Amino acid sequence: TVECEGTTVSELLEALESSCPGIKGRLCDDQGALRRFVNFYVNNEDIRFLQGIETPLTDGDEVSIIPAIVGGWLVISAISLLL
């Protein structure tokens, strides 16, 4: 669990990048769009069905970043961010 601040998922990613340099490059492409194989959830709601990377956040929201899993056996740990 990592605590960061931001009023949108986009701002949260910038704050996360400040705390964990290089992570944004793993989560976003060169244009800043979220990579297809990474799923973001705000309070268990997929941001693809909300406002995408501009989904607003409020104090206490939980953002989960979960890599997509395709085939095989793989252990993945999710990054959970609390505002």
- Per-residue pLDDT reduced to its tens digit, 16-69: 999 889 999 999 999 988 988 899 999 999 999 999 999 999 998 999 999 887
Task: Report pLDDT for 70.
Answer: 65
| The model scores a pTM over 0.85 | no
Confidence band for 72, pLDDT divided at 50, 70 and 90:
low
> Is the pLDDT confidence value at 9 over 70?
yes
Beta strands in 1-83 (DSSP E): 2-3, 38-42, 45-46, 62-67, 79-82
> Phi-psi bin for 21: left (phi > 0), alpha (psi -120 to 50), beta?
beta
DSSP string, 22-34: THHHHHB-TTSPB
Task: Report pLDDT for 7.
Answer: 95
Task: Report pLDDT for 67.
Answer: 87
Task: Report pLDDT for 69.
Answer: 73
H helix or E strand, kind and range, residue 9: helix 9-19
Task: Report pLDDT for 71.
Answer: 55
Backbone φ and ψ for 10, nearest 5 degrees, come out as: -60, -50
